[in-house]
DNA sequence: CCGTTTACATTGCAGTTGCATCGTAACCAC
DNA sequence: GTGGTTACGATGCAACTGCAATGTAAACGG
């Protein structure tokens, strides 16, 4: 077993470089050589860790997803135990929104990947959003909670788009989210 | 003035071909030659009508935007004069949603363009969404109508994303929209 | 010390890209 | 007709693409 190197570490290092290129110059600027240059390694090394470009893209996609997962987990962990449903919901959604510059870069890449995967049905990864939907639905007090949860998630995605494009500021997005939660939780308590 | 040809017509013909390529094989498959082949013309002709690829992309982007504009106008024109605000709002938003297969293709292309323009600040077109925001805000009976309108538009964009990816069906999307409008207009009437 | 396995780096190749250039045919004013 | 302008088509080119092939250095088992 010669020359021990942490494969996972190298792959994420390359994936990070890929995301930097994609965030700054768009997904179409992502090539083996560009990513290698951004990572400060040779193109051959990239090929050593990813047999094909698609494999590299898929891996980077998974990294983006994992990062957002971590953001959510950390944000919720920062809460007290057994927080009220509304606070938990708000924290969860806010953690998924690209509010700071770093997560905005991630979201830009995620958007590019979305468009990339739209025409590549095989590269589309597993669907983890049904779990999220069920979880959010469980938090909402409204009748037909699943429909309300779908609406909340759609609102989140839309806010993400507007945040990326700079059309809404972080404050505006949060104001919209809070107003929506006002309506959701007010309606539920009355019923 | 030799050889009269309708420039606008040729350009839209090429743009249509571009959108077909983008919808079927992704934006990255859009090249001068592919578009030319799809349009059934020579690559030289494409160059004749678009000096650069970016110019072609920008034009196609404008065509997509115009088409959605037309869809909205037609849907509203199909309504009776002076419809109630809620119906008008619903019709407007529904017309912007990619509910059928044709508009879903358009939306896919629009999404790809969004990602394309995210890293190309110069190619971004004029912002026509502020007019839309003001218009929708004028329809809503809620206090802080602009925030509510922002939420509604964000919801629409998010629903569009989920419709494109096939995660929500058209019926589900409309159910979400109606539930949201229920809350918006109920809250306003109570206030 | 030796062979094998891993970890790269280099080079090359066929294909594609956007675009410039050049040629030519059509049309119209005169 | 002639000249000029427009509308293409054909060709070429430098740059780039993903990827295969090949090389080499290092670490370890024996």
Q: Where are the domains of chain B?
A: 81-190
- Higher-confidence residue: A72 or A118? A72
User: What pLDDT score was predicted for residue B191?
Assistant: 46
% of chain A exceeding 70 in pLDDT? 91
Chain A partners within 8 Å of B21 (Cβ): none
* Residues A61, A110: Cα–Cα separation, whole Å: 7
Amino acid B125: pLDDT: 56
Rounded to the nearest angstrom, the minimum Cα separation between B41 and chain A is: 24
User: d(Cα B171, Cα B191) in Å, to the nearest integer?
Assistant: 30
- Chain A interface includes B123 (CB < 8 A): no
A99: pLDDT strictly greater than 50 = yes
pLDDT at res. B115: 83
Six token digits for residue A52: 């094909």
- Angle CA(B60)–CA(A104)–CA(B111) in degrees, nearest 5? 25
pLDDT tens per residue across all 191 residues of chain B: 566 789 999 999 999 999 999 988 988 899 999 999 999 999 999 999 999 999 999 999 999 999 999 999 999 999 988 999 999 999 999 999 999 988 998 898 898 888 887 777 665 555 677 899 999 999 999 999 999 999 999 999 999 999 999 999 999 999 999 999 999 998 545 54
Q: How far apart are CA A48 and CA A44, in angstroms?
A: 6
The tokens for B11 are 């350009």
* Residue A18 to residue A43: CA distance in whole angstroms: 13
CATH topology of domain A63-190: Tetracycline Repressor; domain 2 (1.10.357)
| A1 band by pLDDT with thresholds 50, 70 and 90 | low
A32 touches strand D (CB under 7 A): yes
Cα–Cα distance, A148 to A142 (Å, whole number): 7
pLDDT average, residue stretch A167-171: 96
In chain A, % helix, strand, coil (3-state, to 5) comes to 75, 0, 25
Q: Are B168 and A150 in contact (CB under 8 A)?
A: yes
Q: What is the pLDDT of residue A115?
A: 82
**Angstroms from A57 CA to nearest CA on chain B:** 14
Nearest to B112 by CA among B177, B49, B3, B29: B29
pLDDT band at A191 (very low <50, low <70, confident <90, very high): very low
Instruction: Identify the pLDDT of residue A36.
Output: 98
CB contact under 8 A, A114 and B179: no
Measured distance between the N- and C-terminal CA atoms of chain A, rounded to whole angstroms: 66
pLDDT of B123? 54
Set of chain B residues whose Cβ sits within 8 Å of the Cβ of A109: none
A31 touches strand D (CB under 7 A): yes
* Residues of A in Cβ contact (< 8 Å) with B147: 172, 175-176, 179
CA distance B116 to A112: 8
Residue in A with minimal Cα distance to B118: A165
Task: Please check whether strand D approaches the CB of B10 to within 7 Å.
Answer: yes
Question: What is A1-51's CATH number, 3.40.50.970, 1.10.10.60, 3.40.50.300, 2.40.10.220?
Answer: 1.10.10.60
């Amino acid at each position: 077993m010669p020359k021990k190197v942490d494969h996972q570490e190298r792959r994420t290092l390359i994936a990070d470089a890929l995301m930097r290129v994609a965030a700054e110059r768009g997904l179409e600027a992502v090539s083996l050589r560009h990513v290698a240059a951004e990572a400060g390694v040779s193109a051959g090394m990239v090929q050593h860790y990813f047999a094909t470009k698609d494999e590299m893209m898929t891996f980077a996609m998974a990294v983006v997803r994992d990062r957002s997962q971590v953001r959510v987990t950390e944000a919720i962990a920062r809460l007290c135990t057994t927080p009220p449903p509304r606070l938990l919901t708000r924290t969860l959604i806010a953690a998924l929104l690209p509010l700071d510059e770093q997560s905005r870069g991630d979201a830009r890449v995620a958007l590019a990947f979305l468009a990339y995967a739209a025409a590549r049905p095989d590269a589309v990864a597993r669907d983890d959003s049904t779990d999220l939907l069920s979880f959010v639905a469980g938090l909402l007090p409204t009748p037909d909670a699943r429909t309300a949860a779908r609406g909340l998630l759609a609102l989140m995605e839309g806010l993400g788009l507007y945040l990326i494009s700079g059309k809404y500021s972080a404050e505006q997005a949060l104001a919209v989210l809070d107003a929506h939660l006002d309506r959701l939780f007010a309606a539920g308590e009355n019923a």
